[in-house]
Amino acid sequence: MNAGRIAPVALYQEVAERLRQRIFSHELPPGTWVDEQALAADYGISRTPLREALKVLASEGLVTLKPRRGCYVTEISERDLDEIFTVMALLEGQCAADTARKANDADLAHLNSIHEELERAASSNDIEGFFEANQAFHQEVQLIADNRWLTQAITDLRKVIKLSRHHSLFSEGRLQQSLAEHRSILEALGRRDIAGTEQAMREHISSGRKALAKIAARRETTS
């Protein structure tokens, strides 16, 4: 039996998820032509569910469908990142403001417990652990804000950001800077300072973009 074959339950969604993970891991890097025939043979499926899966990924911005040329993994430029992070800062800032307005003591306690994981990861320079705790923190802020449209928009944009070849936490000093920014967000939340929380979150997102830009600049000078 071919271990790569997919069970015929929600077939195109399963195919989309497999391709999504291959894109995020850069096994299929930006600019790669998607060989539909080879993928269909590899997964043991027809090209119909594969094409449906590619339409899903195209709607998420992860692949680009080009008439008469086929499908390519989306290439994300520095300008794209500038524009995406500008929108992300607005959306996540609004989420943070809503959280400051709605959070109860139990919500804040949970956010503090996630922040403790960030502190532990930072103290041991555990970038992977910090990244996971950071994701959990932002997801919890979105959960408390309780606006599914904001959450969906943020989720979709974060998928596109994953197309970047680098992660901001690999920028020198970024981990400790990010930790300090999280402290500022928590402090503003603790004061129920709606405007202050929104501003702290916007600055946090914008700092992430600056860190990515530093990595890109360093890569250009060494290439």
Q: Look up residue 54 and give its amino acid.
A: L
- Provide the whole-model pTM: 0.80
Query: CA–CA separation, 188 vs 40, rounded Å?
Result: 51
* The pLDDT value given to residue 67: 87
26 confidence band (pLDDT: 50, 70, 90): confident
Give residue-wise pLDDT tens across range 15-25.
999 999 999 88
Query: CA–CA separation, 179 vs 79, rounded Å?
Result: 27
Query: CA–CA separation, 107 vs 111, rounded Å?
Result: 6
Residue 221 clears pLDDT 70, i.e. is over it = no
Q: What is the pLDDT averaged over residues 131-136?
A: 93
In the three-class reduction of DSSP (H, G, I as helix; E, B as strand; rest coil), residue 25 is classed as coil
Give residue-wise pLDDT tens across range 183-200.
999 999 999 999 999 999
Planar angle of CA 115, 179, 100, nearest 5 degrees = 55
Mean pLDDT for the chain?
90
* The pLDDT value given to residue 6: 55
Which CATH code fits 11-73?
1.10.10.10
The domain segmentation of the chain, as residue ranges, is 11-73, 78-222
* The pLDDT value given to residue 169: 66
Query: CA–CA separation, 154 vs 88, rounded Å?
Result: 7
Fold of 78-222: Four Helix Bundle (Hemerythrin (Met), subunit A) (1.20.120)
Secondary structure, 3-state, 106-147:
HHHHHHHHHHHHHHHHHHCCCHHHHHHHHHHHHHHHHHHHCC
